[in-house]
Each structure stands twice: as C-alpha cells, then as structure tokens.
Amino acid sequence: MTTATIQTIDTPDGPFTILVDDAQRVLASGWTPDADRILGRLRPADRPSAVREGRTDAAAAALAYYGGDLSAIDAVAVSQQGTDMQRTGWEALRRIEAGHPLTYAEFAVELGSPSAVRAAASICARNAPALFVPCHRVLRTGGGLGGFAWGLEVKRALLEREAGVPALV
C-alpha cells in the first residue's frame, strides 16, 4: 500500500495542488484544488492507494518561486514513471532555464531527435509534476503558446513572470 500527501496552496495563478510520496518527491501538481484531477495526471498503476492532506516540502519551493525566486523549484525532487524517452524528456525539461523557453522543435533537438517534434509535444503533455518539471517553457514555432493542461492563461502568466514581465490578471 502506497500513501501520498496532498497540499493546496494559494498562488497568483489560482489554487496550486501538490501530491508527494513519502520521500517528499512530487508525483503530480497543477493549478486546481481538485485532488481527483491531480491524481488523474498519473497512470492508474502509479496512483497511491491512500492520500492524506498535509504539508509538503514542495509547497515552500512553489511559494518561493511565486515570491520571485524562480530557481526555487529546480532542486525539488520529482518521481515520474514512463518510457525511457519520456524520462529523458522530463529530465531535459528541468534544464530549460526560466526566461529562456524553447520551441517544440528546439526541444526535439535537445532530445537528440530533431524530427520528433510530436514526441516532444507528447512528453510535455504527459508531464504530471507541472511547475517542478517546467513543460510550460516549451512553445510552438513562432512563439505561440501551444497547449497546457492547466490553461493557456496560467502558461502565459508563468512565462511572463519568468521573463520579468508582469502578468495581467
């Protein structure tokens, strides 16, 4: 039986919920107060059998990020289950610096597969620990936002915050 802890904090972009395992590694997170929506980001086999409300170490990092320390999320441990290519992609997402987004094509190059633009987009779409694995830092060619599980308004606000541009709410 695996257990996990869930915590929701208030952010300028709305309620942000974080699910961590017993080692305080982020399993999933996103801008919703709905625990079921967070759990739904995980494959059924990877979902904990029990979830309790409590404090998470990752919440302090998220609050520091929102307080202006954009690197606060970088050292937060995450745990993601997927294919070798997905895990490689999620690790590559963590290396994208705040304020320096890539296009899906550039991200595919980072993965060593320049023609795998759709695979690069799929890696972003299947990223469960949003913010801590910053898939929001990948854009369409030409700078269009593309998709984001938590809404384009949140993605835009994150990118503007990271670029040093105040987000309009």
Domain ranges of the chain: 3-73, 84-163
For every residue of 50-117, which 3-state class applies, written as one string?
EEEECCCHHHHHHHHHHCCCHHHHCCCCECCCCCHHHHHHHHHHCCCCCCCCEEHHHHHHHCCCCCCH
pLDDT in tens, the chain (169 residues): 589 999 999 999 999 999 999 999 999 999 999 999 999 999 999 999 999 999 999 999 999 999 999 999 999 999 999 999 999 999 999 999 999 999 999 999 988 888 888 998 999 999 999 999 999 999 988 878 888 999 999 999 999 999 985 544 4
Task: Look up 124 and say whether it is catalytic.
Answer: no
Strands 14-20 and 3-11: antiparallel
Q: pTM for the full model? A: 0.92
From the candidate CATH numbers 1.10.10.10, 3.30.70.100, 3.40.50.360, 1.20.120.530, the one assigned to the domain spanning 84-163: 1.10.10.10
Same-fold call for 3-73 versus 84-163: no
Question: Which helix (H) or strand (E) element contains residue 40?
Answer: none
Task: Return d(Cα 21, Cα 27) in angstroms, integer.
Answer: 7
Element (H, E) at 111: none
Identify the active-site residue in 62, 111, 124, 135.
Answer: 135
DSSP state of 117: H
**CATH of the domain spanning 3-73:** 3.30.160
